[in-house]
Amino acid sequence: MVAGPVDPLEVHGLPQWAWNNLNEALDTLGSKEEDAHLSPIMFSIRTRLIECDTKTQVQIGQSISHPTVSCSSPSGPAVPLPEERTKTPSLSLKDVLIVVACSLPFYLSIICPEWYIDELFAITRNEDARGETPILEILQHDFWGNHMWSEGHWTHKSYRPIVTISYWLQYWFNGYLIKPQPLRVFSCLLNTTTALLLALVLCRVYNVKGRIAAVCAGIFAAHPIHTENVVYLVGRADIFATAFWLIAVLVHFELTERRFSSFPSKATMPLFALIILLACLSGFSKEPGFTVLVFLALTQVLKRQGPSRWKLAACLLASFGVIFKFRSWLVGGTKVDFSYVDTPIPYQSDISTRTLSYLHVHAVYAQLILLPINQSWDYSYNAIPVIKSLEDYRVLGILACYTALLCLGNSAIRKVRESDDPRPLLSIAAVLFPFVPASNLFFVVGTVDAVNWPRSAKTLHQFATTLHRADHLEEARELYLASLSIFDDNALTDYCIAQIDIETNRFNEAHDRFLKILAGHGIGFGSFNRFLIMVDFGFTLTAMRKYHIPVLKEGLTLNEDVPHALNALGICYLQLGDIAKGVEAFRRGIHYDPENPWLWSNLAAALLIGEGADSAGEAQRCAAFAVEKSTEAMGFIHPKFTLNYELATAKVESMIDISDSQPQLEFFFHRLL
pTM: 0.68
**What confidence score (pLDDT) does residue 255 get?**
87
User: What is the distance between the alpha carbons of residues 591 and 478, in angstroms, rounded to a whole number?
Assistant: 37
Cα–Cα distances (Å) from 19 to 15, 22, 309, 508, 557, in that order, read: 7, 5, 17, 86, 79
Query: Does the pLDDT value for residue 670 go beyond 70?
Result: yes
Straight-line distance from the first to the last Cα atom of the chain, in angstroms, rounded to the nearest whole number: 70
Contact assessment for residue 397 and residue 390, using Cβ atoms and an 8 Å cutoff: no
User: Where does residue 197 rank: exposed (0-12), middle (13-18), buried (19+ CB within 10 A)?
Assistant: buried
Q: What digits encode the pLDDT tens for the residues 609-661?
A: 886 656 888 999 999 999 998 888 778 888 899 999 988 888 888 765 555 56
| Between 102 and 456, the higher pLDDT residue | 102
Query: Does the pLDDT value for residue 61 go beyond 80?
Result: no
Q: What digits encode the pLDDT tens for the residues 448-501?
A: 554 555 667 777 888 899 899 999 999 999 999 999 988 888 899 999 999 999
Query: Does the pLDDT value for residue 285 go beyond 50?
Result: yes
* Domain boundaries of the chain, sorted by first residue: 93-331, 345-438, 457-654
**What confidence score (pLDDT) does residue 62 get?**
39
pLDDT band at 52 (very low <50, low <70, confident <90, very high): very low
Q: Which of 129-138, 196-205, 256-265 is the least confident region?
A: 256-265
Q: Which of 535-544, 558-567, 664-673 is the least confident region?
A: 664-673
User: What is the distance between the alpha carbons of residues 289 and 433, in angstroms, rounded to a whole number?
Assistant: 9
pLDDT band at 53 (very low <50, low <70, confident <90, very high): very low
The residues, any chain, with a CB within 8 Å of residue 551's CB and separated by 6 or more, are 534, 537, 538, 541
The fold of 457-654 is 1.25.40
Q: Which of 85-89, 166-170, 206-210, 408-412 is the least confident region?
A: 85-89
User: What pairs with residue 71 in β-bridges?
Assistant: 52, 79
Highest mean pLDDT (candidates 300-309, 335-344, 362-371, 531-540): 531-540
Q: Which of 10-14, 132-136, 400-404, 573-577 is the least confident region?
A: 10-14
**What confidence score (pLDDT) does residue 612 get?**
62
Q: Which of 28-37, 125-134, 355-364, 496-505 is the least confident region?
A: 28-37
| Between 21 and 590, the higher pLDDT residue | 590
